[in-house]
Chains A and B, each alone.
Chain A
Amino acid sequence: MNAFYSIGKKRAIEFCQSILFDDKGKLVNSCDTIFSTKQFSAKQQKVQDWFTFLESVMPIITTLKEGDPEILFTKVQSPSEILPGFYDFSFTRVILKGESFILWLVYDYTQLYNGFLQYQQAKNEIEIQRQIFEANHKKISKPSDVFKHKNYFKETYNDQLINSNYVFVVLRIIGMSFPVHEIVHDFGSYQGISNHLEENKSALAALEKEFFIFLGEENEALEINFLPTKLLSQVFREIKKSKPQLNISLINAQQIQEPLFGKANVIAQVLYSLLINTMGELHFNVPEISMDLEYDDELMLITTVGQKIKNNHRIDDYLIISKRLHLLKLLIKRSRGKLVCKYEAETEILSIIFKIPIKKVHS
Chain B
Amino acid sequence: MTSKKIILTGSFGVGKTSLFNQFIFNKFSDKYLTTIGVKVNKKSVFVDGEEVNLLVWDIAGEVSQDKVPTSYFLGASGIIYVFDLTRPLTYKNLEKDIDYLKQILPGGLIKIVGNKKDLLEEDAIAKVVNDVTMPISILTSAKSGENVEDLFNDLAKSLIK
Verify if A116 is at the interface (C-beta below 8 Å from B).
Answer: yes
Are the C-beta atoms of A60 and B72 separated by less than 8 Å?
no
Are the C-beta atoms of B36 and A113 separated by less than 8 Å?
yes
From the candidates B38, B66, B69, B72, name the one contacting A77 in the complex (CB within 8 A).
B38
From the candidates B37, B42, B75, B88, name the one contacting A74 in the complex (CB within 8 A).
B37
Are the C-beta atoms of A60 and B75 separated by less than 8 Å?
yes
Are the C-beta atoms of A52 and B42 separated by less than 8 Å?
yes
Nearest to A75 among chain B residues (CB) is B37
Are the C-beta atoms of A56 and B40 separated by less than 8 Å?
yes
Are the C-beta atoms of B5 and A56 separated by less than 8 Å?
yes
Are the C-beta atoms of A124 and B38 separated by less than 8 Å?
no
Verify if A178 is at the interface (C-beta below 8 Å from B).
Answer: no
Are the C-beta atoms of B5 and A73 separated by less than 8 Å?
no
Are the C-beta atoms of B38 and A75 separated by less than 8 Å?
yes
A73-B38 CB under 8 A given contacts A128-B12, A135-B88: yes
Are the C-beta atoms of A304 and B60 separated by less than 8 Å?
no
What residues of A have a CB within 8 angstroms of the CB of B13 in the complex? Answer: 124, 127-128
The residues in B between 37 and 81 inclusive whose CB is less than 8 angstroms from any CB of A are 37-42, 55, 57, 60-61, 66-67, 69, 71-72, 74-75
Verify if B34 is at the interface (C-beta below 8 Å from A).
Answer: yes
The residues in A between 119 and 134 inclusive whose CB is less than 8 angstroms from any CB of B are 120-121, 124-125, 127-128, 131-132
From the candidates B34, B72, B75, B87, name the one contacting A121 in the complex (CB within 8 A).
B34
From the candidates A57, A75, A124, name the one contacting B12 in the complex (CB within 8 A).
A124
From the candidates B33, B42, B86, name the one contacting A135 in the complex (CB within 8 A).
B86
What residues of B have a CB within 8 angstroms of the CB of A135 in the complex? Answer: 86-89
Residue interface bits B130-156, CB-to-A below 8 A is 1, else 0: 000000000000000000000000000
Verify if A7 is at the interface (C-beta below 8 Å from B).
Answer: no
CA distance A121 to B69 in the complex (A): 19
The residues in B between 19 and 33 inclusive whose CB is less than 8 angstroms from any CB of A are 32-33
What residues of B have a CB within 8 angstroms of the CB of A116 in the complex? Answer: 36
From the candidates B34, B40, B71, B75, name the one contacting A52 in the complex (CB within 8 A).
B40
What residues of A have a CB within 8 angstroms of the CB of B38 in the complex? Answer: 73, 75-77
Residue interface bits A75-87, CB-to-B below 8 A is 1, else 0: 1111100000010
Are the C-beta atoms of B39 and A78 separated by less than 8 Å?
yes
CA distance A141 to B39 in the complex (A): 38
Size range of the chain B interface in the assembly: 20 to 34
Are the C-beta atoms of A73 and B32 separated by less than 8 Å?
no
| Shortest CB distance A112–B (Å) | 11
Are the C-beta atoms of B40 and A131 separated by less than 8 Å?
no
What residues of A have a CB within 8 angstroms of the CB of B39 in the complex? Answer: 77-78
Residue interface bits A97-124, CB-to-B below 8 A is 1, else 0: 0000000000000000100110011001
What residues of A have a CB within 8 angstroms of the CB of B34 in the complex? Answer: 117, 120-121, 124-125
What residues of B have a CB within 8 angstroms of the CB of A304 in the complex? Answer: 67
Verify if A55 is at the interface (C-beta below 8 Å from B).
Answer: yes
Nearest to B74 among chain A residues (CB) is A60
Verify if B35 is at the interface (C-beta below 8 Å from A).
Answer: yes
Are the C-beta atoms of B32 and A131 separated by less than 8 Å?
no
| Shortest CB distance A67–B (Å) | 18
* 4 extra A-B contacts, CB within 8 A, seeds A72-B71, A75-B37, A135-B88: A55-B42, A57-B75, A73-B72, A117-B36
Q: Across the A-B interface, give the 4 residue pairs with the lowest CB-CB distance, nearest first.
A: A75-B37, A56-B55, A60-B75, A128-B13
Give 26 pairs: A residue, B residue, CB < 8 Å, sorted on A. Answer: A52-B41, A52-B42, A52-B55, A55-B42, A56-B3, A56-B5, A57-B74, A73-B38, A73-B72, A74-B37, A75-B36, A75-B38, A76-B40, A77-B36, A77-B39, A117-B34, A121-B32, A124-B61, A127-B13, A128-B12, A128-B13, A128-B32, A128-B87, A131-B88, A131-B89, A131-B90
